[in-house]
Amino acid sequence: MVAVDPFAQAQQLADPFAQALTMSHGAACGTGGATVANFFDGEKFFGGFGPTLFDFPDYWALRQRSSQLFTENLYARGLIRRLITNEINTGLTLQAEPNDELLEQLSEEEAEKWAENVESRFEIWAATPKLCDFEGQRTWAKLQEEARRESLIEGDILVVLHTDRRTGLPQVQLIRGGRVVTPLRRAPGETRTITHGVELDARGRTVAFHVRQDGLETIRIPAFGPKSGKRMAWLEYGADKRMDAVRGMPLLGIILQSLKELDRYRDSEQRAATINALLAMFIQKDKDLPGTRPMSGGAVRRAVVQGDADASGAVREFNIAAATPGVVFEELQTGETPQSFSTSRPNVNYGAFEAAVVQAIAWANEVPPEILMLAFSNNYSASKAAINEFKGYISRVRKDFGETFCQPVYVEWLVAEVGAFRIEAPGLLEARRSPLRYVEAGAWLRAVWAGPVKPSVDLGKDVRAYVEAIEANLISATRASEDLFGVRNARVLKRRTREIRAIQKMNKDLGLEPVAEIEPAPGRDGDGTQAIVDRVIEELTDYGEISRIVN
């Protein structure tokens, strides 16, 4: 980091334009040019801000320290794991939404059926590690979790897409961001810029990544196929990235020192409390008389501890003993007084201090302290406000992660399925090759990546509010079903229809009254009914499942 030249302001005043401003202002004010132009730089008085520094991120040190804290620091691990649990949880799921308004050959009903077919096929691919993972070990949900976690810890992670020769479908490979480095040796005649392992062209676009192999050798991985233009690799960033930066900053980068010192403070106070508990009492002597050794005499176990040598070289010895509980010392020598060991540690203010630091850490990362510490001690309104605030953060992160990590994989998967004639999408392949047909390609590839819905604090109130909004035609039942339970209303209707028919058959066999079929309620969009909502609430209450309807 380099401080600004202290004569920078003087150099600015020496600029002809600045001098002209000063002279004209002085003449206008009648001060004879005595007024000096003030170049405001954020300081209210000279030296108030301090030196201005130019930061040059040391990505290697930041990654290593962030990884170290995640391994050994409970605050760092708690923050990262809390974010992963809320952001990814069991994985973002595909909701294909082809735009039937832009696709003339697709009706609304056909678009719904097409989406269900695509989602079902993608779900099978995502649940099979040998199909989706290049290493054949992780499901699509675990790949999301690992990509998000490593990008938060190290700042970014390299995602590489391979094509499975057996199926023609994409396979995802994850490479730690720390392995993306600038090669020590470059090919003769190579003129492209390589910054922190990222190769850029003349326009500043990413064209390749250089990955360290065993030893010091590196391999070059193109960002796009040289002939097909297919996307092959990209960096997934975990936290904020400045516009001109090519690498991501670890989430813990700005709080590394705070987390380290807070952990040291906690260990010190815990150690002090343990030592205080081990030292029960001692006998204080204020007169030079023979001691009675009351503690040794009433002990059940004795020991001698040797201390360090003093200036004369003599080694001091201390007699210690573990006393039986309830022992009463009698007939102490004159000048002997039992003294209890000080219990001033741990510091009584430690809890408040720790909470203040953790609150600042949570605030810096847009996480309510209640969520980070899992301590909902406030009233209902305060807890509800914290959860709603956190939902805004979760929605943004899921949208960004879905667009940057999940969507590129889905696009290559869908193109491969269409190319193999396993899914029908007329015109998609041709539109992908023609930039002028981007609207048609986008209409086929449109999708939303939804995550598990957090349990409602008061499900009954929320459901009734959504029902009133549906009745007032302010929202669709599909949106309400997704917001409350994270599933499509169409799927709920189909499953409920099958369940009701099964109940009807059972009642008929038992001679009981039949159950009415599901019919769309009048005055709504046909996506749901009050009866369905009531039945869902009853079932969720009976079985205690308030977070999500399992597909």
- The predicted-structure confidence for 304-316, as pLDDT tens digits, reads as follows 666 666 667 777 6
SS3 content of the chain, % helix, strand, coil (to 5): 45, 15, 40
Residue, of 502 and 199, whose pLDDT is higher: 199
Assess whether pLDDT exceeds 90 at residue 291.
no
Looking at the chain, the whole-number percentage of residues with pLDDT higher than 90 is 38
Assess whether pLDDT exceeds 60 at residue 441.
yes
Q: Provide CB contacts within 8 A for 489, sequence distance 6+.
A: 476, 477, 478, 480, 481, 482, 527, 528
pTM of the model: 0.73
Assess whether pLDDT exceeds 50 at residue 141.
yes
The answer to whether the beta carbons of residues 18 and 39 sit under 8 Å apart is yes
Would you state the pLDDT for residue 475?
Answer: 81
Inter-CA distances, 45 with 39, 202, 245, Å: 12, 43, 33
What count of Cα atoms within 13 Å lies in the side-chain half-sphere of residue 432?
Answer: 17
pLDDT band per the 50, 70, 90 thresholds, residue 528? very low
Assess whether pLDDT exceeds 50 at residue 470.
yes
Burial class (CB in 10 A: 0-12, 13-18, 19+), 481: buried
pLDDT band per the 50, 70, 90 thresholds, residue 493? confident
Spatial CA neighbour of 443 closest among 95, 93, 104: 104
Would you state the pLDDT for residue 526?
Answer: 42
Would you state the pLDDT for residue 482?
Answer: 75
Would you state the pLDDT for residue 75?
Answer: 92
Would you state the pLDDT for residue 473?
Answer: 84
Residue, of 38 and 142, whose pLDDT is higher: 142
The answer to whether the beta carbons of residues 342 and 349 sit under 8 Å apart is no
Q: pLDDT of 397-438, one tens digit each?
A: 999 999 999 999 999 999 999 999 999 999 999 999 898 999
Residue, of 281 and 523, whose pLDDT is higher: 281
